[in-house]
Amino acid sequence: MSDDTASSPSGDPDGSPGSRESFAGSEKPPSGSRESFAGSVKPPPGSVKYGGITHTYLGYDPLEFPPPTKPRSGDAADAMLDHMLMYGSRRKFTDRELAEAIHLDPSQIKGLGPSLDVLKAMLEERKRKLLERYETSHVRDLASDAFDAAAAKIEVPDALAPKLKPALDAALDRRQLADLERMHRRVPDATPLAHTLMRAIARLRDQFAVEQLHARHPFTGREKMDVPTALAVKEELEKIDKLLKQIEEALKNAKPAIIDMDALREYASEEQMADLDRLQRQVNELLRKMAEEAGLERSPDGNREGYKVSPRAMRTYQKHLLATIFSDLADARRGRHDGVDSRDGAVELPSTRAYEFGDSPANLDVPQSILNAVARTGRGRPAAEDLEVHRTRRAPKCATALILDMSGSMRYGGQYIACKKMALALDGLIRSEYPGDFLQAIEMYTLAKLRPAGEIVEMLPKMVSINDPVVRLRADMSDPEIGERDLPLHFTNIQRSLALARQVLAAQDTPNRQIFLLTDGLPTAHFEGSDLYMLYPPDPRTERETMREAMRCKQEGIVVNIFLLPSWSQSEDDVQFAHRLAESTGGRVLFAGGEDLDRFVVWDYVKMRRTIIG
């Protein structure tokens, strides 16, 4: 592999956060950079600095806000597939994740309620005694005085005083923990200033912890505390609150496994812990049966902690996906999806018509023809005028290649999850409604690879391995010493993906051939003979070779439809390229993304499938 030009380590092809565009719209410098200390005191000329005080919120708990990509709960197979869509095969679906995904009825677990109620009452009693014993006004004064004393010992050297002292005094006066920590990172280590500043930061953290203790708990006692005692009481109360919350969740959803057994042992007896272990074994057995019913199987590698998806579970998931997608169709729409009526169609309809010369005998409605003869002559021997045949409908075959972008930029916003979910839905639609159709998934990255339907859930975006703002790489793929592992895989090779799709579709015996290309931007890799070029920013040379491959698709009657996904780095150039590529083959560009991507693609397939002329 050769590198044609030198580049600086501050950017990233294909949408890495280290690229120049990313840093231009960011409030933070990239990791490893070093701001001048004066920049934190006075902003650069012409810039606007909003606010100025960072508040420390004592009641904020990030655990109360689950991530937006958290798998939904309810059905074991759905939870398993959602997990695989997010993590592929890199992370096993464990028993704990299965327990969190399934809602159990507590009445199914004998003795669960009484056992947990006893533990809950014991913890609540311990918490009540702590609150009735102590008061917090005294320790709040102690924590504030300790910080003031530590702040008074900070002495700024004369060399740093002009730049540092105004900002330091303001941060100490306002008790700005974030500002003090930022200043400490810029002060040389192993200096008296660094030590005294670190002690002041520690005392301020203690003060915030004491204030948080006072704000969260209604103390009614009279015993005074010092700061270490207050911190220990705070830690114990937090532990009790966490256990109480876990017990409440276990009572609601029959999940004793979520209880922190190590923490609970400080308060519960050995007998109570043994009772909880027995209940957990009951729950595990129930979960095992539910997993088997949903079609989940243990991993074949002997890892008893992991599950794998069986074909039955995959079909169930696809069925649920299609039900969700088509649930938004209007109730007035009847039937499946109508095709073109024809005398020689392959699909036989219930309705009939009079026989005409040239009709196939295979479509003859024998019972109705005999009834017509009986009604006309009284005898069951039909003549030509008695014959009736079933109306038929043509079912033209459609061949589709589905190109899924798995380059580095697809990891942003979970775009790859929506793409894989859409691919599974489309595969389920074709299997259930159009079994004569053909679908082939293609994974697109620096190269391109055919993927069977069973491997779609395992695909993941490629990790970005080059963070330079300008990349000019060439690899001779005819060299046996160069393989896929030697390449940066996070580029976007639309040209190679179209070529592979064209080869696959050429073998299908139907004139109705199309390519669905799901991507978020311009191509950044292409082949010229055996040479693979990886060029970032996107180069006209790559676009030219990609358009050339699109014209080859058009010459073979293959239509390219592009689903352009939203991206933080998307520009007008991306949109214009998508239009040029689609128009060159008679295709279309559709803008869709997020949770609605599966609906857009599946509905578009159904709509276009209904308009195919056999």
- How many residues in the chain? 614
Name the token pair of 195: 């030590």
Question: C-alpha angle 132/134/140, rounded to 5°?
Answer: 140
Q: In this structure, what are the phi and psi dihedrals at residue 355, rounded to the nearest 5 degrees?
A: -65, 140
H helices of 217-253, in order, are 227-253
Q: Residue 463 has what DSSP assignment?
A: P
Sign of CA dihedral 34, 40, 46, 47: positive
Asked if 456 and 406 count as a contact pair (C-beta separation under 8 A), the reply is no
SS3 34: coil
pLDDT tens digits for 183-211? 888 888 888 999 999 999 999 999 999 99
Tell me which amino acid residue 316 is.
T
Question: Which pLDDT value is given to residue 604?
Answer: 67
Note the CATH number of domain 399-610.
Answer: 3.40.50.410
Question: Which pLDDT value is given to residue 107?
Answer: 59
Asked if 427 and 434 count as a contact pair (C-beta separation under 8 A), the reply is no
Q: Residue 125 has what DSSP assignment?
A: H
Question: Which pLDDT value is given to residue 444?
Answer: 96
Closest alpha carbon to 439 in 488, 400, 386, 486: 400
Tell me which amino acid residue 409 is.
S
Q: CA-to-CA distance for 176 and 187, rounded, in angstroms?
A: 17
Q: Which residues of the chain have pLDDT under 70?
A: 1-81, 83-84, 89-91, 95-96, 99-114, 253-258, 294-295, 299-305, 308-310, 313-314, 316-350, 392-396, 568, 592-614
Q: In what order do the strands lie in the sheet with 438-444?
A: 448-451, 438-444, 399-405, 513-519, 558-564, 589-591
Question: Which pLDDT value is given to residue 512?
Answer: 87
Q: Residue 304 has what DSSP assignment?
A: T
The residues facing 403 across adjacent strands are 442, 517
What Cα–Cα distance (Å) separates residue 607 from each residue in 339, 571, 604, 611?
A: 11, 29, 5, 7
Question: Which pLDDT value is given to residue 100?
Answer: 66
Name the token pair of 285: 């057995």
Tell me which amino acid residue 69 is.
T
Question: Which pLDDT value is given to residue 19?
Answer: 38
Q: Where are the domains of the chain?
A: 76-133+231-298, 137-218, 340-394, 399-610
Question: Which pLDDT value is given to residue 386?
Answer: 86
SS3 515: strand
Tell me which amino acid residue 607 is.
K
Question: C-alpha angle 380/384/388, rounded to 5°?
Answer: 80
Residue 504, C-beta contacts closer than 8 angstroms, at least 6 positions apart:
401, 440, 442, 450
